[in-house]
């Protein structure tokens, strides 16, 4: 179990509640969220479980999703099935798959409650789609039903009513409902097997596979063509050569004063959102001096 810090001296009752809400692992299983984690991150978490430090205040947003879930279960609805852990052995591999769908509504509709920024309504999150489809895979096997709906129910923590008038795409209320595609069972089964085999292979690996740029939430280096007195760049290029070519071809009156401002890319998740970065060679080599 990780070590939970309380660097901002939150009252002990809040600290205890946040910590209790966060750790829910079942030995001998891979969870729906664990399966979708990057291989390297998941394996480093497994190996360093007792050494990881998590600041309890970082758990507040996750707790908000749990609080809304508790609100629903505190007011029983005849069509809502209470959260229940499902564990299904994965045939042919020495591991079981586990998951605890937040809400099973009318027996066949799976809803997952999350706390998120309003921006999440604009961008597809492949992990969320996979997580819901893994729940569907579990529910089909546990209850022998056809799953008819997969929904991310988002509590939009930064929703601003004032922005609803400014943009037609901004969510009108602080709750976002995203219907996610239901994969054929064979597709989910293949996905689960591939991910489970990948995670298990990491347990014997000498070198762990590097997280992909998407998994690292990598931002590319930008070569911005700028000139004095202008707030915005003339063009953001993906290479120095492209930026120099742009200047060479420019007909703008500021051409002679144009320079290239290199804005280094970075891996946002590695720097700010990876609990095991201090054991990751990639992080240490690239950002080791950041503290």
User: In the complex, which residues of this chain contact ligand SF4 (CB under 6 A)?
Assistant: 38, 40-41, 44, 210-211, 216, 267, 269-270, 274, 276-277, 280, 282-283
Nearer to ligand SF4, 105 or 279 (CB): 279
Half-sphere exposure of 137 (CA within 13 A, CB side): 27
Min dist CB 278 to ligand SF4, Å, is 9
Nearer to ligand SF4, 177 or 201 (CB): 201
* 224 neighbors 235 (Cβ within 8 angstroms): yes
Min dist CB 271 to ligand SF4, Å, is 8
**Beta strand pairing status for 53-55 and 3-5?**
parallel
Nearer to ligand SF4, 15 or 283 (CB): 283
* 72 neighbors 91 (Cβ within 8 angstroms): no
Nearer to ligand SF4, 37 or 159 (CB): 37
Q: How far apart are alpha carbons 210 and 230 in whole angstroms?
A: 40
Structure tokens belonging to residue 171: 């969510």
Min dist CB 33 to ligand SF4, Å, is 15
Min dist CB 53 to ligand SF4, Å, is 14
Min dist CB 117 to ligand SF4, Å, is 20
Please name which of 31, 25, 1, 22 lies closest in space to residue 199, comparing C-alpha atoms.
Answer: 31
Q: What is the DSSP letter of 246?
A: H
Min dist CB 277 to ligand SF4, Å, is 4
Min dist CB 76 to ligand SF4, Å, is 40
Nearer to ligand SF4, 28 or 281 (CB): 281
Min dist CB 48 to ligand SF4, Å, is 11
Nearer to ligand SF4, 102 or 267 (CB): 267
Nearer to ligand SF4, 117 or 288 (CB): 288
* 218 neighbors 267 (Cβ within 8 angstroms): yes
SS3 199: helix
Burial environment of residue 289 by CB neighbours within 10 A (0 to 12, 13 to 18, 19 or more): exposed
Q: 81 — phi, psi (to 5°)?
A: -90, 130
| Helices assigned H by DSSP within 23-155 | 32-36, 39-47, 60-74, 126-143
Q: How far apart are alpha carbons 133 and 107 in whole angstroms?
A: 15
Q: How many CB atoms lie within 10 A of CB 150?
A: 23
Q: What is the arrangement of strands in the sheet containing 96-99, beginning at the earlier edge strand? A: 29-31, 96-99, 86-89
Nearer to ligand SF4, 218 or 260 (CB): 218
């Amino acid at each position: 179990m990780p070590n939970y810090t309380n660097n901002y001296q939150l009252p002990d009752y809040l600290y205890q509640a946040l910590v209790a809400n966060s750790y829910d692992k079942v030995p001998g299983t891979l969870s729906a969220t664990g399966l979708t984690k990057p291989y390297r991150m998941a394996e480093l978490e497994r190996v360093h479980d007792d050494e990881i430090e998590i600041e309890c205040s970082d758990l507040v947003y996750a707790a908000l999703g749990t609080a809304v879930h508790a609100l629903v279960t505190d007011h029983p609805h005849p069509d809502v099935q209470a959260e229940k852990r499902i564990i299904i052995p994965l045939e042919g591999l020495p591991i079981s798959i586990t998951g605890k769908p937040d809400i099973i509504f009318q027996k066949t509709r799976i809803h997952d409650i999350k706390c998120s920024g309003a921006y999440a309504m604009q961008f597809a999150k492949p992990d969320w789609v996979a997580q819901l489809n893994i729940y569907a895979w579990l529910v089909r096997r546990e209850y022998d039903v056809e799953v008819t709906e997969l929904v991310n129910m988002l509590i939009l923590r930064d929703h601003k009513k004032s922005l609803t008038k400014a943009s037609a795409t901004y969510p009108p209320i602080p709750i976002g409902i995203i219907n996610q595609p239901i994969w054929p069972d064979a597709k989910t089964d293949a996905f689960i097997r591939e991910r489970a085999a990948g995670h298990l292979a990491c347990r014997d690996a000498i070198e762990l596979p590097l997280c992909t740029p998407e998994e690292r939430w990598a931002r590319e280096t930008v070569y911005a063509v700028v000139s004095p007195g202008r707030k915005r760049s003339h063009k953001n290029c993906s290479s120095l050569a492209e930026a120099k070519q742009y200047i060479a071809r420019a007909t703008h009156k500021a051409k002679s004063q144009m320079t290239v401002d290199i804005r280094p890319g970075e891996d946002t998740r590695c720097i700010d959102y990876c609990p095991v970065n201090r054991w990751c060679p990639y992080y240490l080599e690239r950002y080791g001096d950041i503290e």
